[in-house]
Amino acid sequence: MMKVPSSVLLCLLITCLGASACYEPIANTSDSGSNQSESVFPEPESTAGESDPDSNKGSNSAKEEELVKEQGPANGGFRANFESNLKRHGIDPGSVLDTSNAVESRILAEYGAVFLTTADPPSKVMFTSEPEVSSFQSNAGSVAERFGGVTIELQPEAMNALKKAASVADSRGLKITPRDGAEAGRRSYAKTLDLWNSRFLKAADHWRSKGRLTADQVSRLKSLPIKEQVSEVLELEKSGIYFNTFFNNSILYSVAAPGTSQHLSMLAFDVSEFQNAEVRNILAEHGWFRTVQNDEPHFTYLGLKESDLPSYGLKKVSKNGGDYWIPDI
């Protein structure tokens, strides 16, 4: 074997050390602030397939997809999925719905799609007091964001989806803004009672003036506890004594019964641009759907794909040029 002179070895060692000392990784020259949207809404978070080398967190969209996959629809239609989703959130279905109560059963049939949400579903079909509502809202949690100059409160998951939808709309030259101010989002029990009375009291006096109700009947109606009052109103409507704004349809198509509004669960948002089909499509792509018939501006956060809604027991009803997803009961 040829012997390498020590002087040559020394030169090789110096050369290697020099190369190592001069190595520098290539700098990331991308400007994280460049090309940022001028929208007031933040850019959507990374979607599945994009990676962030500086973070070990998975994207929200990937988590949402996984959640929906984990949930999956249950066999047995709407009622089975209603119970399955409540149990998934640790809620006893028996504590949510009184099946012997005709009013609650009617409310579930009218507004029940919200119980399929991937966020926190309401803990009652019909809340009966402000403390009940406050307790639910506190446990579910809420976040506040500015939309169109108005502060709106929703559950975190619902708000995140709405912000993404608004960002997409903004990129297409469209807007998603609240209708009727802050009440487009979270509401209190007292507010739902006020809205009910704005229709109920006016209609009661209207039918008294028309001779369809006596003064004693109206007085009795007004004095009833709210659950009994709602029950009596719905019963009177069967004979054509309607309590909606124009006295020609059910009051439930005009305003929710006290304690039943989806706004109480912070999963509803009233949209000013509801007539724009592209806006409705963007909202649907982000889990927001119309689920209350005849309430055109009202959208409900379900967090599900539209193509999957029939599998969860919802059926599509088309009215006035728009679609509504309601329980298929």
Same domain, 203 and 289: no
Same domain, 176 and 116: yes
Res 320: pLDDT: 81
Same domain, 157 and 212: no
Given 253, 278, 308, which residue is the final one in a domain? 253
Q: State the Cα–Cα distance between residues 213 and 215, nearest whole angstrom.
A: 7
Res 322: pLDDT: 86
Same domain, 84 and 182: yes
Same domain, 87 and 169: yes
Res 71: pLDDT: 63
Domain coverage including residue 282: 73-187+261-327
* Residue 24 is assigned to a structural domain of this protein: no
Could you tell me the pTM of the whole model? Answer: 0.77
Same domain, 159 and 285: yes
Same domain, 245 and 275: no
Given 253, 270, 295, which residue is the final one in a domain? 253
Res 51: pLDDT: 34
- Is 157 in a helix, a strand, or coil? helix
From the list 110, 145, 142, the residue with the least C-alpha distance to 125 is 110
* Residue 238 is assigned to a structural domain of this protein: yes
* Residue 183 is assigned to a structural domain of this protein: yes
Same domain, 166 and 287: yes
Same domain, 86 and 152: yes
* Residue 8 is assigned to a structural domain of this protein: no
* Residue 67 is assigned to a structural domain of this protein: no
- Is 131 in a helix, a strand, or coil? helix
User: Domain total for the chain?
Assistant: 2
Same domain, 92 and 174: yes
Res 254: pLDDT: 86
As averages over each run of 10 residues, the pLDDT of the chain (329 residues) reads 46 41 31 30 34 38 48 89 96 95 93 97 96 97 95 98 98 96 96 96 98 98 95 97 95 92 98 97 98 94 97 94 93
Same domain, 177 and 303: yes
Give DSSP secondary structure letters for 70-121: HH-PPSSHHHHHHHHHHHHTT--HHHH--TT-HHHHHHHHHHGGGGG-SS--
* Residue 41 is assigned to a structural domain of this protein: no
Strand 314-319, strand 288-289: pairing: unpaired
Same domain, 92 and 144: yes
Q: Which residues pair with 301 in a beta bridge?
A: 288
* Residue 204 is assigned to a structural domain of this protein: yes
Res 70: pLDDT: 56
